[in-house]
């Protein structure tokens, strides 16, 4: 068990969660809850892998993954924004739709090798002693994109005018509307952006971090963990990033725990009884629940919780939020 290996694995697998979670944060900030992240991610992973395989260009694959997630999310947008359908049910069916579509279109992709997003060193920063080799060397490029994306997302939401409009639409759409913000357009736009980022997260899996197409095991529930991460992060990209990287590290730690024969001076039970691995596999999900309980209590205490209009359809001229 090597701390540096765990840290680096966390940074690379955490990138997946961070793209998906920040995408969902942007969508929910606009007042739309999209539970279809898992479906959009899987479709994005499939589209990216298939396109990269067909064209030989991982960059085209990346674009295809992003587009696939975005286009699928528009279905959710139409149904919830214009038809005012229940967002939970619509999001769930989006998950089914995306998963089913990805499985249908992904027939025969298993076991193939597609060109992958290249790895590289971050210019200049990779030469910093100690920090450089851990954080800025020999990662696939999307990991560095993630580094830059986190502060940008935070700055956008809290420090720019469009970010303020976004928050206003999620908190009090009628007030935003009065001030001339087009509530419907903003909601469509961020639903789309959230879908694009979920697609990007999927592409990050299939053509960068753990390459390949393993039907619905490709995402294996990470889309749902991303949705949970949003609540834990209290809709703040910086906290989502922290949670995402920690989660990635934890997953690697669980894997490494089965390696050594002796653990903390004692017989390592995970080495001797391989069936205990099922308990290790439970842990991320248990921790998600624990984090949610803790996050929900903190959110209640600090009154920093969900956007006030989250999940509430907006109808012009009707009473409501």
Partner 1 sequence: MKLPFRVEIEQRTRDIPKWMPFVTSLSAVILAFIISGIILAVIGGNPFQVYAYFFTAAFGSWGALSDVIVKATPLLLIGLGCGLAFKMKLWNIGAEGQFYIGAFCASLVVLVPLVPLETTPKFLVLLLMGLLGMIGGAIYGLIPGILKAKFNVSEIITTLMLNYIAVNWNNYWIFGKFSDAGFQMTPTFDKVAWLPRLSDLAKQYRVFSGITLHLGVVFGLVAAIIIWLIVRYSRWGYEINLIGDNPRAARYAGINITRNIVLVFMVSGALAGLAGMSEVTGVVHRLQERISTNYGFSGVIVAWLAKLNPFATILVSFLFGALIVAGREIQPSGLSFFIQGTILFLVISSDVLLRYRIRILRQTRETA
Q: Is 5 in the site for partner 1 (CB under 8 A)?
A: no
105 binds partner 1 (CB under 8 A): yes
Is 282 or 308 the residue whose CB approaches partner 1 more closely?
282
Q: Is 126 exposed, middle or buried (0-12, 13-18, 19+ CB in 10 A)?
A: middle
Pairing of strands 119-120, 139-140: antiparallel
Q: Which of 67, 85, 141, 242 binds partner 1 (CB under 8 A)?
A: 85
State the number of binding residues for partner 1 (CB under 8 A): 51
* DSSP assignments along 144-192, one per residue: HHHHHHHHHHHHHHHHSHHHHHHHHHHH-HHHHHHTT--HHHHHHHHHH
Question: Among 68, 79, 114, 207, which residue interacts with partner 1 (rule: CB under 8 A)?
Answer: 79
CA distance 78 to 83: 7
Contact 187, 29 (CB under 8 A): no
- Angstrom distance (rounded) from CA 100 to CA 123: 41
Among 63, 67, 71, 101, binds partner 1 (CB under 8 A): 101
Residues 254-273 contacting partner 1, CB under 8 A? 273
Q: Which of residues 34-63 bind partner 1 (CB under 8 A)?
A: 35, 39
Using DSSP's 3-state secondary structure scheme, residue 263 falls into: strand
Beta carbon nearer to partner 1, 52 or 99: 99
Interface positions, 173-232, toward partner 1 (CB under 8 A): 215, 221, 224, 227-228, 231
Among 155, 162, 281, 304, binds partner 1 (CB under 8 A): 281
78 binds partner 1 (CB under 8 A): yes
Lookup: tokens for 166: 């976004």
> Does the protein bind partner 1 through residue 27 (CB under 8 A)?
no
CA gap 55, 279 in Å, rounded: 41
The first and second tokens of residue 103, run together, are 């499985």
Q: Smaller CB distance to partner 1: residue 156 or 184?
A: 184
The closest of 98, 73, 300, 32 to 192, measured between CA atoms, is 73
Binding part of the chain for partner 1, among 51-59, 99-107, 109-117, 124-132 by CB under 8 A, reads: 99-107
Residue 314 touches partner 1, criterion: CB under 8 A: no
* Residue 292 engages partner 1 in binding (rule: CB under 8 A): yes
For the chain, give percent helix, strand, coil, nearest 5.
70, 0, 25
- With binding defined as CB under 8 A, does residue 93 bind partner 1? yes
Q: What Å distances lie between residue 30 and 81, 288, 296, CA to CA?
A: 11, 24, 20
Could you say which of 94, 157, 183, 205 contacts partner 1 (CB under 8 A)?
Answer: 94
Q: Is residue 104 close enough to count as binding partner 1 by CB under 8 A?
A: yes
DSSP type of residue 85: -
137: three-class secondary structure by DSSP: coil
Q: Which residues lie across from 263 on neighbouring strands? A: 266
Q: Is 158 in the site for partner 1 (CB under 8 A)?
A: no
Instruction: State the minimum distance, in angstroms, from the CB of residue 130 to partner 1.
Output: 36
Instruction: Examine residue 90 and tell whether it contacts partner 1 (CB under 8 A).
Output: yes
Q: How far is the CB of 137 from partner 1 (least distance, A)?
A: 34
Q: What is the DSSP letter of 24?
A: H
298 binds partner 1 (CB under 8 A): no
Interface ranges with partner 1 (CB under 8 A) = 35, 39, 75, 78-79, 82-86, 88-90, 92-107, 215, 221, 224, 227-228, 231, 273, 275-276, 278-279, 281-282, 285-286, 288-289, 292-293, 296-297, 300
């Amino acid at each position: 068990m090597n701390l540096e290996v765990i840290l680096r694995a966390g940074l690379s697998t955490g990138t997946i969660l961070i793209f998906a979670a920040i995408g969902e944060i942007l969508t929910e900030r606009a007042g739309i809850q999209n539970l279809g992240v898992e479906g959009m991610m899987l479709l994005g992973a499939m589209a990216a892998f298939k396109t990269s395989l067909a064209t030989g260009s991982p960059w085209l694959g990346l674009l295809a993954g992003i587009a696939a997630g975005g286009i699928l999310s528009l279905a959710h947008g139409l149904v919830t924004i214009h038809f005012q359908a229940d967002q939970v049910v619509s999001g769930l069916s989006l998950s089914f739709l995306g998963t089913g579509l990805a499985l249908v279109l992904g027939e025969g992709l298993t076991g193939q090798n597609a060109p992958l997003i290249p790895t590289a060193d971050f210019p200049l920063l990779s030469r910093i002693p100690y920090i450089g080799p851990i954080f800025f060397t020999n990662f696939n490029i999307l990991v560095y994109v993630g580094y830059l994306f986190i502060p940008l997302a935070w700055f956008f939401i809290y420090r720019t005018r469009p970010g303020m409009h976004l928050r206003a639409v999620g908190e009090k759409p009628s007030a935003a509307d009065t001030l001339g913000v087009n509530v419907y357009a903003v909601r469509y736009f961020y639903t789309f952006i959230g879908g694009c980022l979920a697609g990007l997260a999927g592409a990050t899996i299939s053509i960068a971090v753990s390459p390949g197409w393993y039907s619905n095991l490709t995402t294996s529930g990470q889309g749902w963990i991303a949705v949970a991460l949003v609540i834990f992060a209290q809709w703040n990209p910086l906290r989502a990033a922290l949670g995402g990287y920690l989660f990635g590290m934890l997953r690697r730690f669980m894997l490494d725990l089965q390696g050594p024969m002796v653990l903390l001076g004692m017989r390592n039970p995970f080495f001797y009884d391989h069936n205990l691995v099922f308990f290790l596999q439970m842990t991320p999900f248990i921790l998600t629940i624990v984090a949610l309980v803790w996050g929900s209590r903190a959110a209640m205490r600090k009154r920093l919780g969900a956007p006030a209009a989250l999940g509430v359809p907006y109808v012009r001229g009707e009473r409501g939020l």
